[in-house]
């Protein structure tokens, strides 16, 4: 015999109406994306425009950050450095070796990071990037339709602690 439980809505007994979910449960998912091609030759970090904001329900919850940047380009004498900023402050680095092998190159970069924000305030995560050597680098969002034909995405998932 198979049992089945169907409900339309579950409400907590607390005045806030929230329910304590088991550790590891995904509480919410927020997405941000960009379609435009961006470029810089700056060796200081500049925003890519790829960002999303999440408001955790509990200070013990974590945020899983998933980033997919499509068409990261650098010339043969340069490379791209990517960082995640939290509330406009440098927080976590991830880099790509695109272009460091003596030839111009373009590829996609995927990165995951689990953050412990310890807050219930709105928290913004933004992908910043810079040139490693001052050459012209690009985030192309490149697909079969050319530059700007795909999107780069940042997903924020609140994970119950």
Q: Which of 121, 129, 119 is closest to 154 using CA atoms?
A: 129
Outline where DSSP puts E strands in the chain. 26-34, 38-40, 46-54, 62-74, 80-86, 89-95, 105-115, 123-131, 137-139, 152-159
In a domain, 23, yes or no: no
- Is the model more confident about 7 or about 124? 124
In a domain, 17, yes or no: no
> Could you tell me which residues are beta bridge partners of residue 74?
105
In a domain, 151, yes or no: yes
In a domain, 18, yes or no: no
Q: How far is CA 98 from the centre of its chain?
A: 19
Mean pLDDT of the region 111-136: 94
Q: Which of 80, 86, 47 is closest to 63 using CA atoms?
A: 86
Mean pLDDT of the region 114-125: 97
In a domain, 101, yes or no: yes
pLDDT of res. 118 = 96
pTM over 0.75: yes
Given a cut of 60, is residue 103 above it in pLDDT?
A: no
In a domain, 70, yes or no: yes
In a domain, 60, yes or no: yes
Domains identified in the chain, total number: 1
Q: How far is CA 49 from the centre of its chain?
A: 11
In a domain, 57, yes or no: yes
Domain carrying residue 59: 28-159
CATH number at residue 63: 2.60.120.760
> 81-95, 116-130, 139-153: which has the highest mean pLDDT?
116-130
């Amino acid at each position: 015999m198979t049992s089945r439980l169907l409900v339309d809505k579950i409400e907590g007994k607390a005045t806030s109406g929230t329910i304590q979910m088991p550790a590891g449960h995904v509480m919410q998912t927020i997405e941000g994306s960009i379609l435009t091609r961006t470029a810089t030759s700056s060796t200081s970090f500049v925003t890519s425009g790829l960002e999303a904001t999440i408001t955790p329900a509990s200070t013990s919850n974590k945020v899983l950050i998933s980033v997919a940047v499509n068409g990261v380009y650098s010339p043969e004498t340069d490379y791209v450095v990517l960082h995640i900023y939290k509330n406009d402050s440098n927080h976590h680095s991830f880099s790509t070796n695109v272009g460091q092998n003596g030839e111009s190159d373009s590829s996609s970069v995927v990165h995951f990071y689990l953050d412990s924000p310890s807050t219930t305030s709105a928290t913004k995560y933004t992908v910043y990037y810079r040139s490693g050597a001052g050459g012209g680098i690009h985030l192309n969002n490149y697909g079969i339709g050319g530059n700007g034909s795909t999107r780069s995405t940042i997903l924020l998932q609140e994970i119950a602690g």
